Amino acid sequence: MKVIGNRRFAYGLNVMPWLLFCGLLTQGLNAQDIVALNSVEVFAKKINFSQTGKKTEIIDSTIKQQFGLNSLAELLSFNTPIFIKSYGSGALATTAFRGGNASQTAVLWNGFNLQNAMLGQSDLSLMPAILFDDVELEYGGSSSLWGSGAVGGSIHLNSKNKFNQGFVTTVNAGAGSFGLCNGFIHGLISKKRFVSSTKLYLNRSNNNFLYGDSLDKEQPLKTQKNAAYNFRGMMQEFKFMINPKQLLVVNSWLNSNQRRLPAINPSAESKTYQLDASLKLTANWSYVKTKFRSIARGAVFYDQIQYSDSLISLFDKSKVRTVMAENENFFHWAKNQQLHVGLNFSSSSATSSNYDGQRSMSRVSLLAGNRSVFFNGRFVTCLSARSEYISVGALPLTGNVSAEYHLFKNVITKINVAKVYRQPTLNDLYWLPGGNSELKPEQGFTFEGEINYRKDANAFSFFVSGAAFSRKINNWILWVPGNNGNPSPLNIQQVWSRGTETNFKVTYTKNKLKLGFNLSSAYVLSTVESNRQENSDNLKRQLIYTPRYTVNGHVFVSYKNISLFYFHQYIGYRFTSSDNLIWLNPYQLSSIKLNYNIKLRGINLSLFAACNNCLNNSYTIIAARPMPLRNYELGLSIRFGNNKK
């Protein structure tokens, strides 16, 4: 049992000891695992198909380290053109990827989609960035390979634990303003044929921060109340090299997240609490021969949300279980040709106070693709298609056609055309009152292209890229007022999203000195092109909470054992009404992070400090959800063990 404020959460998970035991014994598989043994590789290649012809981005390990004790939402917000819709520290944070909504982004953990079947989205605030060895972004649609929701883009979260690394322990601890307290422990046992990785984390805060209220001239500084949170969890991975041809990976991820939700009026008292708990279990078996690879994998996800508001006597409890099974096969049927054939099954069932009994949804998918390489690797093409049967409706064939060409030695051009879709969620279909079981999937076409230039010259390294995209989605699902004023979802809009993205990076390395600069920007128009809603005034208007302009940048200097980073972002106007007559002003946010490393015999010690919102700006990302003024963090990281190279 856990107490936040004056409220005790009646969690009711009497099986927690059993879940902890399972978490220690099991953990999900990684669709990206690469294991070298006797010159034989065992790995899944599905991501090679999906990323051909598309803009991709891997978050640099040095940058990820600066946000190690922050959430995935904060890492992406400062370092990518993805706009993160955050309700505040510890509160709900979702994506607006290339003008889409949260349900149109696939968040994949070791190849499994984390989207909640009831909500159709993933809360990035509940995911500590330090949990993931590799964070990779795939821009553009890939519904033919990743299924429902891979419309605007995909976020890949992967483990990269290698064999034969020895025994390593890492302990991170941090504290900060507003009662912030972070902790992380990672224990790694890595032998020739066996790996065990155990990660434990804690993140809690009173979250009673100061914020600026420009509308109140008498009391411009106020304190946010009733926003405390307490997140904790564990991630476990086991990897077994059965023999040089077979690899087995088992993963688990257990978390319990408790938070108090402030009132819409921050100065008002709130008795609203939310508990999110989940257990994710996955397993992956890979088999490889010279020209053939096969992967069989499965997962079971349990998610629970409890919501209560004693002021209005409201209590809601929802549970959802998702089962997934998949088989993928890769055939090198010619020297430069690889065929991919897969079969996927998933089934979700849920109960809620707002459902009429248990509701479920199942789907079976057949996917096929072919990757071709020409001109000594300079030209690569990929074709893929997906046919899917859904228990609550039919879905037509979807597919991708993509290509990339090395125009010159340092210049690569990419292009992708795809048909994409998003299946309605269980809440869309069955919520009472208002659910609509006749909803059709959102679907449409997306086009994107990129050209990038990369050059290493003596101590300098340059990277420049430019991308453009256009996507039209029909049957866009929108909740509108229905009978008796109850909102109901309808396939009512066509939305056209288009825009450009740029990125520029330069680094200079000489001896023990390293300098770097990175600047990325995005311009996104996402407008309603047609609307069947009566008396609608949103035609040709920008979608709410979709900024047209976003800019992110950072500079850093590192010398010997000390490094200094400065991060800065600009977020443009966000409309809060569909007619675009009401908006939130643009804001700029900056952060300074300082690191000092000490190497002792067998121990690496790192001290870090951070100043967030160092310009002390008053801003909101979501209306009526103020964000904190200047605040600070301090911490240390200790790494020790008989690490092998």
Q: What's the pLDDT score for residue 566?
A: 98
> Coil, strand or helix: which one is 23?
helix
Number of domains in the chain: 1
* Pairing assessment for the beta strands 411-422 and 194-205 based on DSSP bridges: unpaired
Q: Cα angle vertex 245, ends 239, 251, to 5°?
A: 20
User: Using CA atoms, how far apart are residues 635 and 180, in angstroms rounded to an integer?
Assistant: 11
Domain extent, residue 625, equals 3-641
Q: What's the pLDDT score for residue 536?
A: 80
Tokens 């520029």 — which residue? Answer: 504
Longest CA–CA separation in the chain, Å: 76
Q: What's the pLDDT score for residue 269?
A: 84
Which of 371, 390, 501, 382 minimizes the C-alpha distance to 443? Answer: 390
Question: CB–CB of 113/107 below 8 Å?
Answer: yes
Return the H-helix or E-strand segment holding 345.
Answer: strand 337-352
Question: CB–CB of 92/324 below 8 Å?
Answer: no
* Cα dihedral 333→136→159→232 (10° resolution): -150
Q: What's the pLDDT score for residue 12?
A: 36
Tell me whether the omega of the peptide bond preceding residue 433 falls within 30 degrees of 0, making it cis.
yes
CATH code, domain with 369: 2.40.170.20
Tell me whether the omega of the peptide bond preceding residue 81 falls within 30 degrees of 0, making it cis.
no
Report residue 484: phi and psi, to 5°. Answer: 55, 25
In the structure encoding, which two tokens stand for residue 515, read together? 């300098």
Low-confidence ranges of the chain (pLDDT < 70): 1-45, 393-394, 643-645
Q: Cα angle vertex 104, ends 101, 107, to 5°?
A: 115
| Residues with Cβ within 8 Å of residue 466, at least 6 apart in sequence | 450, 451, 452, 500, 501, 502, 503
Q: What's the pLDDT score for residue 25?
A: 33
